[in-house]
């Protein structure tokens, strides 16, 4: 679980996960667009960290390697740290934060 927290701590890795959440099954060249100021090798390094934490899985499609979001580790963190009693309150707080930060 520590690997998951470490992987989620980096904003670049969260940007990659957000990109996969929006459209799953992307190739490296597509994921590079989520981090325009980063080199291809930098993106590959972040994908390796995400894969080691179990947050990203890959599948070969011919010559292409497609990356997919694996939400299970995030769900396990949710289940461990947010009790069923606190979930409604936390949900309302998250909704309020989203509304207040909206443009």
6 close to 53: Cβ distance less than 8 angstroms: yes
Which of 89, 20, 94 minimizes the C-alpha distance to 57? Answer: 20
Asked if CATH classification 1.20.1050.90 holds for the domain at 2-101, the reply, yes or no, is no
pLDDT tens-place string over residues 40-60: 999 999 999 999 999 999 999
Task: Provide the residue ranges of all domains of the chain, joining segments of one domain with +.
Answer: 2-101
pLDDT exceeds 80 at position 85: no
Q: What is the pLDDT of residues 62-73, one digit of tens each?
A: 999 999 999 999
């Amino acid at each position: 679980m520590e690997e998951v927290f470490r992987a989620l701590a980096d904003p670049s890795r969260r940007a990659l996960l957000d990109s996969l959440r929006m459209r799953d099954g992307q190739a490296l060249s597509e994921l590079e667009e989520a981090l325009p100021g980063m080199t291809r090798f930098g993106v590959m390094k972040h994908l390796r960290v995400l894969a080691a934490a179990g947050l990203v899985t890959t599948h070969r499609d011919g010559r292409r390697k497609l990356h997919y979001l694996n939400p299970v580790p995030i769900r396990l963190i949710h289940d461990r740290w947010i009790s069923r009693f606190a979930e409604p309150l936390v949900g309302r707080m998250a909704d309020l934060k989203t509304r207040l930060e909206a443009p």
